[in-house]
Structure 1
Amino acid sequence: MNNTIETILNHRSIRKFKNEALTPEQIEIIVSAAQHASTSSYVMAYTIIGITDEVIKEKLTSISGHEHVRNSGHLFVFCADLNRIYQLASEEEQEKMKESIESTEQFLVTTIDTALAAQNAVIAAESIGLGICYIGGIRNNVKSVNDLLELPDYVIPLFGLAVGYPDHRPEHKPRLPFDEIYHENKYDMKKQASLIQQFDRELEKYYLSRGQNTRKDTWSDQMIRKYTTPIRMDVTKFIQDKKLNKR
């Protein structure tokens, strides 16, 4: 097993960071790694915003509900961005572009591009001894985040990424079984129930034995709770107001 695979397999979310800022060189390495991710048709449909303003960081901490937004070495906000492409064109060309740019297909392109770039950034950060935590909580009030960062049409904030020097080492959380994730040639529902039951037993043991926040819980119970309690239902209208995913 090489160092890259070891880095990937050793991933864990870090929520406590040392009080040490990232250097400009580290930030450049992380962003450059993000830029070298695969991208659909060379579009590179994302923008990364580094948050250094303490007032903005405080507001994002409040919106997300996570102290490590404030207390990390650096906070990145990853944005899906088709505005850059739109601004290349004349007014006449922009009118012709709208049908494509506002389509679900291009919404998928920009969100996938952004996620690929972010994961490259994560692997780069972890490979140089840093820890990370994705911050989906910025979508708790996505309109406020949008206004705070002054994002134009065709740009939406997808998630934050807190990066810094780890100040704890949480246990490695189990993942679904290989055979539950990997299917050959067709979607195989027959094996699903038994594999998930097996995983639930494994995860229950993990929660009961870990050093902090022990509890009795399973993956199935978590997912049922999550999807029977809708959250962030304002995001659909917000995205369409930003003129994405309209067609």
Structure 2
Amino acid sequence: MNELVRLLQAHRSIRKYKPDPVTDEQLFAMLQAAQMASTSSNVQAYSVIRVTDPTVRSELRAVTGGQEHVELAPLFLVWCADLYRDQVACELNGADMVSEGMENFMISTIDTALAAQNAAVAAEAMGLGIVYIGGIRNNLRRVTELLQLPQLVYPVFGMCIGVPDQEPSVRPRLRASAVLHENVYQREGVVAGVQEYDVRTREYYLHRTGGKKDTTWSQEMVNKFRAKPRAYMKDFLEEQGFRLT
């Protein structure tokens, strides 16, 4: 099998790192890989903030619910959807930018995710480990204040990066047959796919926790979707200039 395919299939989230620093050379290699990700109409609607200030790192740890790797990882990046730069480009040409609309919000968010995933793969190819930090969305107003973000910029997620100091097992995913459909969405296979996955994820959780966690994927989804998460999000995004109309 192709070496890159093997690398992608071996991905694990790494939350514990050796003290070795991530070099500027490694960081810029990741950034160059990120910038070569696909981008809608070459908009490149994202920015990356490297957070090195210990006080800010500590504040971000608090925002994420006390995830210590946010503070301790050798490198912590915040990936932001960014239409501010595009607004500047329009102004430089004497034009007003129409930033409103769900499509523009989606373009910026998707561009950010694609770029970040390219960076993650590049990091792993260099022997580093990463974990995405969605917990920064617990309080985006505070994160925006800490990072001094202008209008039309919002933090999508953080990313911890460093040399792995743990060897977690690869978390099982749904079978390909549960996510691949032919021509039309084949609903009849969904139930069977979830039931089969529940068996494997229960075994995974029991093994990973030494028998302390007895749950399944579908039970975890109940916990995930039993209530509306981060209900403030729409109001915050509109405060930042993303008019979701």
User: TM-score normalized by structure 2?
Assistant: 0.96
Kindly report the root-mean-square deviation, in angstroms, between the aligned alpha carbons of the 2 structures.
1.4
Cα distance in 1 for residues equivalent to 2:210 and 2:120: 24
Cα distance in 1 for residues equivalent to 2:158 and 2:177: 31
Cα distance in 2 for residues equivalent to 1:17 and 1:216: 28
CA contact (8 A) 2:105 2:244 kept: no
Q: Which amino acid aligns with 1:235?
A: M
Cα distance in 1 for residues equivalent to 2:114 and 2:215: 31
1:1-247 to 2 correspondence within 5 Å? 1-65=1-65, 66-90=67-91, 93-94=95-96, 97-98=97-98, 101-210=99-208, 214-247=212-245
Q: Write out per-residue CA displacement over residues 31-60 of structure 1, whole angstroms, 9 at most, x where no aligned residue.
A: 111111011100100000111111111111
Cα distance in 2 for residues equivalent to 1:223 and 1:137: 17
Q: CA deviation at 1:210?
A: 2.0
155-164 or 57-66: bigger deviation: 57-66
Runs of 4+ in structure 1 deviating by more than 6 angstroms, as ranges, are: none
Distance 1:53 1:213, change over 3 A: farther
Distance 1:213 1:68, change over 3 A: farther
Q: Which amino acid aligns with 1:104?
A: M
Work out the number of aligned pairs and report it.
Answer: 243
Give the secondary-structure state (helix, strand or coil) at the position aligned to 2:131.
Answer: strand
Give the secondary-structure state (helix, strand or coil) at the position aligned to 1:144.
Answer: helix
Q: CA deviation at 1:74?
A: 0.3
Give the secondary-structure state (helix, strand or coil) at the position aligned to 1:215.
Answer: coil
Q: CA deviation at 1:245?
A: 3.9
Cα distance in 1 for residues equivalent to 2:152 and 2:232: 17
CA contact (8 A) 2:46 2:112 kept: yes
Q: CA deviation at 1:18?
A: 1.1
Q: Which amino acid aligns with 1:201?
A: V
> Percent same amino acid among aligned pairs?
41
12-21 or 133-142: bigger deviation: 12-21
Q: Write out per-residue CA displacement over residues 188-212 of structure 1, whole angstroms, 9 at most, x where no aligned residue.
A: 1111111110110111011111256
Q: Write out per-residue CA displacement over residues 157-177 of structure 1, whole angstroms, 9 at most, x where no aligned residue.
A: 000010001110111110011
CA contact (8 A) 2:141 2:236 kept: yes
Q: Which amino acid aligns with 2:9?
A: L
CA contact (8 A) 1:103 1:246 kept: yes
Q: Which amino acid aligns with 2:200?
A: E
Give the secondary-structure state (helix, strand or coil) at the position aligned to 1:87.
Answer: helix
Q: CA deviation at 1:241?
A: 1.1
Cα distance in 1 for residues equivalent to 2:138 and 2:221: 19
Give the secondary-structure state (helix, strand or coil) at the position aligned to 2:138.
Answer: helix
Give the secondary-structure state (helix, strand or coil) at the position aligned to 2:227.
Answer: coil
CA contact (8 A) 1:132 1:163 kept: yes
CA contact (8 A) 1:106 1:245 kept: no
